[in-house]
Chain A
Amino acid sequence: MSLEAHGLDWRAGGRLILDQVSLQVPPGELMGLLGPNGSGKSTLLRLFAGLARPARGEVLLDGAPLARRSRRDIARRIALVEQHATTDTDISVLESVRLGRTPHRSAISGWSANDQRAVDSALDQVGLADKCARRWHTLSGGERQRVQIARALAQQPSELLLDEPTNHLDIQHQLELLELVRRLPLTCVMAIHDLNLAAMFCDTLAVLDGGRLVAFGAPEEVLTPALIERVYGVRALVSRSTPHRRPHVQYLPLTPSSLDQEPPCEPST
């Protein structure tokens, strides 16, 4: 068992952001959360992380309501990697990752061998063991995301939530990061924009549209031209990609003839 959403409603400023969302996160798998901007992906992740209480419905962890657990208790089970973590603290990689041990330590307990093992293993998994002393503000975008993932792993969670972790990364770093997430032996829920990357790496996909869950299942069941047109308003061809037999989405232009013409004037450099 893992995380479950039961009829979740969430409102902000009188607008319904999540509307009766129910789903069961498959344990031990990587679930991709798809949907256009403003479809409620981040909100659902926040509810799963216990950062906000649903207006209606409930989130269950192992069959028991998340709301009944203490913050610290939740933090030992569920870790969140935000879309764009920032700090103005002059913090090092090691110090950032050590923050992940916070829920496992009391106000006065010392740094235990167990804490050290968790941090070492987290740094190893993301390949940052040799960059411990580097300062946060000297890191690249991809390195920062890996630090946040290492911090989350140091929490030793059973479920990991990631909010568009590949945003603002170049394609090599996107692939690196997704391969890293896929290797993790955890239940992962990841909001992601790129349909092809989602199809390549996720075991299951859930699609949100206007706060409603409109599709849920294996990538090849979910990613159909009809769904893409309905949710994104875009026509697309879906084929099986040659290298890995995963669904591959090709988008068709919004106006049929726009690609036949000369490209629109771009300032020459």
Chain B
Amino acid sequence: MIERFAADAGWAWRYGLALVAVLGLGVAVVLAASIGEMRIPFTVSLKAILNGLGLTDYPLDRIQQGIVWEYRVSRALVAACCGAGLSVCGAILQALLRNALAEPYVLGISAGASTGAVLVMLLGVGGGVIGVSLGAFLGAALAFSLVLLLAASGRAGVTRVILAGVAGAQLFNALTAYIVSTSANAEQARSVMFWLLGSLGGVRWPDVWLAGLVVGVALVACLLFARALDAFAFGEDLAATLGISVAGVRLVLFAITALVTATLVSIVGAVGFVGLVIPHAARFLVGPGHSRLLPASALIGANFMVLADIVSRIIVPQQVLPIGVVTALVGAPAFALILYRSRLSP
């Protein structure tokens, strides 16, 4: 039985597995740095990364060094941050909304962030004061508030918030499409549409710092709420009788979720289903306790996204698929499976 193995096994096994996941992430990053239009040997990539970190000074081809460090490593690290961030967001939303299908993409938060980002990018809303990330955050917060408002008008249970999310996502996607088709020229429209599906193409080092900072701080902050999240297992009222300030915890964690989603959308675009699938996989391994679930989700999500990015670059020769397409190909069937299983156990 691997189910909950990592939860029931002793601490040595737990930390061992965590170490394996971290090492796996390192290997995946080096792999991601080697694979691409120009194949670069694994050892060369490793040397280039060590050079880039300033640890060594191997004599390498300048172009290879540049491709590995400036393009591929930054891209892989953003992918890792994106996977970690979205997975943690998914785990938190699933706990707070008590809904196995909750995640930023399904709830329309990503769609709202896209609309906000596109408004700033194409229409120049905010007059240059509001950056793309802030625009995305405002869009995400607006979409999230709308969905919660729709879902809260009645206590009709868990399907309601998903329906509200679907409605919100449709609305904001339509708005985005409207803005793009009315205000962008053909070239802009093509690049925005590609970005909307999730693209790591234009990612550079400054994006790594931004994504790393936001996701790292968010993860630490969320870990402080791990016990509060556990207390939501039997609903908000019970969480309140366990001493949790439900409204406060919800507000803080929803804001963090919107912030992380918006930051990632403004860098990578709307990547779906990672936040849905990864927390379930992590829960399967470590159980429902959030002090383990959140770091496990982050680690598995990071690994998954780096690998998904590699797949997106090699699955069609001479072409790079949007990463959102790859995650959706994995995620949509998983979504169906979770929906089916939650139908069996009401």
Chain A residues with CB under 8 Å of chain B are 46, 49-51, 70-76, 78-80, 82, 85-92, 95-96, 99-100, 102-103, 105, 107-108, 137, 148, 155
Which of B10-18, B233-241, B310-318, B326-334 participates in binding chain A? B233-241
Take A90-B288, A95-B287, A107-B227 as given contacts and tell me if A102 and B233 are in contact as well, using a CB distance cutoff of 8 Å: no
Q: Which residues of chain B are near A105, meaning CB under 8 Å?
A: 227
Judge whether B149 is part of the interface by a CB distance below 8 angstroms.
no
- Complex: A133 Cα to B224 Cα, angstroms: 26
0/1 interface trace, chain B 275-315, chain A, CB 8 Å (1 if under): 00000000100011100000000000000000000000000
Does the CB pair A155–B242 fall under 8 Å? yes
- Chain A binding surface, main DSSP class: mixed
Does the CB pair B242–A99 fall under 8 Å? yes
- Complex: A192 Cα to B244 Cα, angstroms: 27
Within 8 A of A (CB), among B158-199: 158
The 7 listed contacts between A and B (C-beta, < 8 Å) are A71-B244, A80-B237, A90-B287, A95-B288, A96-B233, A102-B243, A107-B224
- Complex: A148 Cα to B244 Cα, angstroms: 17
- Complex: A137 Cα to B289 Cα, angstroms: 17
Does the CB pair A88–B345 fall under 8 Å? yes
* Known contacts A51-B237, A74-B241, A107-B225, then 8 further A-B pairs from the complex at CB < 8 Å, ordered by chain A residue: A50-B240, A71-B244, A76-B243, A87-B98, A87-B234, A87-B235, A102-B230, A108-B224
- The closest CB in chain B to the CB of A85 belongs to B234
0/1 interface trace, chain B 70-104, chain A, CB 8 Å (1 if under): 00000000000000000000000000001010000
In the complex, how many angstroms separate the beta carbon of A83 from the nearest chain B beta carbon?
A: 11
Does the CB pair A99–B240 fall under 8 Å? no
- Complex: A105 Cα to B244 Cα, angstroms: 11
- The closest CB in chain B to the CB of A137 belongs to B345
- Complex: A89 Cα to B226 Cα, angstroms: 15
- Chain B binding surface, main DSSP class: helix
In the complex, how many angstroms separate the beta carbon of B11 from the nearest chain A beta carbon?
A: 13
- The closest CB in chain A to the CB of B224 belongs to A107
Does the CB pair A103–B243 fall under 8 Å? yes
- Residue among A46, A71, A87 making CB contact with B243, cutoff 8 Å: A71
- Residue among A86, A90, A102, A137 making CB contact with B227, cutoff 8 Å: A102
- Complex: A209 Cα to B283 Cα, angstroms: 46
- Please give the number of chain B residues whose Cβ is less than 8 angstroms from any Cβ of chain A in the complex: 27
In the complex, how many angstroms separate the beta carbon of B86 from the nearest chain A beta carbon?
A: 21
Does the CB pair B240–A89 fall under 8 Å? no
Does the CB pair B235–A88 fall under 8 Å? no
In the complex, how many angstroms separate the beta carbon of A58 from the nearest chain B beta carbon?
A: 18
- Complex: A91 Cα to B229 Cα, angstroms: 13
0/1 interface trace, chain B 236-263, chain A, CB 8 Å (1 if under): 0110111111000000000000000000
- Complex: A75 Cα to B240 Cα, angstroms: 8
Take A102-B227, A105-B227, A108-B224 as given contacts and tell me if A88 and B342 are in contact as well, using a CB distance cutoff of 8 Å: yes
Does the CB pair B241–A75 fall under 8 Å? yes
- Complex: A71 Cα to B283 Cα, angstroms: 29
In the complex, how many angstroms separate the beta carbon of A128 from the nearest chain B beta carbon?
A: 16
- The closest CB in chain B to the CB of A46 belongs to B237
0/1 interface trace, chain B 199-243, chain A, CB 8 Å (1 if under): 000000000000000000000000011111011011101101111
- Complex: A79 Cα to B227 Cα, angstroms: 18
Does the CB pair B237–A75 fall under 8 Å? no
Does the CB pair A90–B237 fall under 8 Å? no
Does the CB pair B243–A86 fall under 8 Å? no
Does the CB pair A80–B227 fall under 8 Å? no
In the complex, how many angstroms separate the beta carbon of A145 from the nearest chain B beta carbon?
A: 12
Take A75-B242, A103-B242 as given contacts and tell me if A89 and B227 are in contact as well, using a CB distance cutoff of 8 Å: no
Does the CB pair B241–A51 fall under 8 Å? yes
Q: Which residues of chain B are near A72, meaning CB under 8 Å?
A: 243
- Residue among A51, A88, A99 making CB contact with B231, cutoff 8 Å: A99
Q: Which residues of chain A are near B237, meaning CB under 8 Å?
A: 46, 51, 80, 82
Take A72-B243, A102-B244, A137-B345 as given contacts and tell me if A95 and B234 are in contact as well, using a CB distance cutoff of 8 Å: no
Within 8 A of A (CB), among B17-48: none
Q: Which residues of chain A are near B226, meaning CB under 8 Å?
A: 107
- Residue among B224, B233, B345 making CB contact with A99, cutoff 8 Å: B233
Take A90-B283, A90-B288, A91-B288 as given contacts and tell me if A80 and B234 are in contact as well, using a CB distance cutoff of 8 Å: no
Q: Which 3 A-B pairs have the closest CB atoms?
A: A75-B243, A103-B243, A72-B243
Q: Which residues of chain B are near A46, meaning CB under 8 Å?
A: 237
Q: Which residues of chain A are near B234, meaning CB under 8 Å?
A: 82, 85-87, 96, 99, 148
Does the CB pair A86–B224 fall under 8 Å? no
- Complex: A148 Cα to B240 Cα, angstroms: 15
- The closest CB in chain B to the CB of A102 belongs to B242
Does the CB pair A95–B238 fall under 8 Å? no
Take A51-B240, A99-B242 as given contacts and tell me if A87 and B233 are in contact as well, using a CB distance cutoff of 8 Å: yes
- Complex: A88 Cα to B238 Cα, angstroms: 14
In the complex, how many angstroms separate the beta carbon of B219 from the nearest chain A beta carbon?
A: 14
- Residue among A71, A85, A155 making CB contact with B240, cutoff 8 Å: A71
Take A107-B225, A107-B227 as given contacts and tell me if A89 and B241 are in contact as well, using a CB distance cutoff of 8 Å: no
- Complex: A90 Cα to B284 Cα, angstroms: 9
In the complex, how many angstroms separate the beta carbon of B245 from the nearest chain A beta carbon?
A: 5
Does the CB pair A89–B233 fall under 8 Å? yes
Does the CB pair B283–A99 fall under 8 Å? no
- The closest CB in chain B to the CB of A72 belongs to B243
Q: Which residues of chain A are near B227, meaning CB under 8 Å?
A: 102, 105, 107
- The closest CB in chain B to the CB of A155 belongs to B242
Q: Which residues of chain B are near A102, meaning CB under 8 Å?
A: 227-228, 230-231, 242-244
